[in-house]
Amino acid sequence: MTGNSDVAVKQKDKVKGKMLMLLKNDFLASARVIPLFYIIEAVCLIAFMYGRHFNNDKVLAIGFATSFLVAFVLVLISFFFVIFDYQKSLFGQQGYLSFTLPVNSRQLLGSKVIVYGAWLQLSYLNAFCVMYFLSEYVNNMYGQELETAGIFLELLNLPSKTMIIVYFIYFVVMIFALFLSFLMAVYFSIALSHIRVFQKANIAWSLIIFVCTVVLFVLLVNILNKYLGVYLIMNVGADTSWKYSLNLGDINYQKYGADIIALNLMSFVVLFGQSIAYFFGGAYVMHKYVNIK
């Protein structure tokens, strides 16, 4: 038993070491370009703050415009690398080398998902923070005494600022789930388009397959929400105490009242379920059916 246990531990360490090697290589490959744009973003923000502090309108305007522009360019660059590096390293000229590495298809795909998924998430977070920072400056510059929390309360018809925090956490987790599902759908579409029957027009087929995955997601969400919808209902009583309950199917607002938070949990189930299915489906296709040119 001890001998078998030692072999299992060594095998686990070996697999872990291979995965770390893949993560390191993918990170170094992406780090040649993407971090440069974050450095440019930092320089633009420094120029913006310099112009604001010393009342230099020219530097301020340049810093404002470039900060806004670079934030969105970063999103596009990250999205480009999500597709370009995956295509080049697994199905392009480097494909033969990648598939001869002593790793399995799940490790190859998992490394791409972790590294480029992180870059993609970071780019969107950066764009959100830059937009918030610049919008606060615009509000102050024009003398608008606007309270950000008050704006959200009015737009979303929320009864308390505490609910803003709840919705914000829900929004962050939902965005993460959407990005993960989107990334896995893209990778699955590209992998499936490289099997022999689709290979001659793999770009067109990858787009068709991706559109089909989006349509499938919309249909699943609508059907499941209608018949098996699961909502987390949260309401604040008069004594500010929170009340929680689960609601199946459509929400009866007469039962719960209008001032409630209804968080759709079924959407998370579909998003993460699709992500898992696309990951293992893509890895299986890569292992069994992908034809490298």
Per-residue DSSP letters for 55-85? T-HHHHHHHHHHHHHHHHHHHHHHHHHHHHH
91: closest CA among 179, 205, 182?
A: 205
Contact 291, 194 (CB under 8 A): yes
Where does the pLDDT of residue 277 fall: very low under 50, low under 70, confident under 90, or very high at 90 and above?
A: very high
Amino acid at 116: Y
The residue ranges of every structural domain in the chain are 2-288
Tens of pLDDT, residue by residue over 49-73, are: 888 888 888 888 888 889 889 988 8
Q: What is the mean pLDDT of residues 4-9?
A: 46
pLDDT number for residue 12: 55
pLDDT number for residue 177: 86
pTM: 0.77
pLDDT number for residue 30: 82
Coil/strand/helix, residue 7: helix
Where does the pLDDT of residue 242 fall: very low under 50, low under 70, confident under 90, or very high at 90 and above?
A: low
Q: How many CB atoms lie within 10 A of CB 184?
A: 25
Taking 70 as the threshold, does the pLDDT of residue 200 lie above it?
A: yes
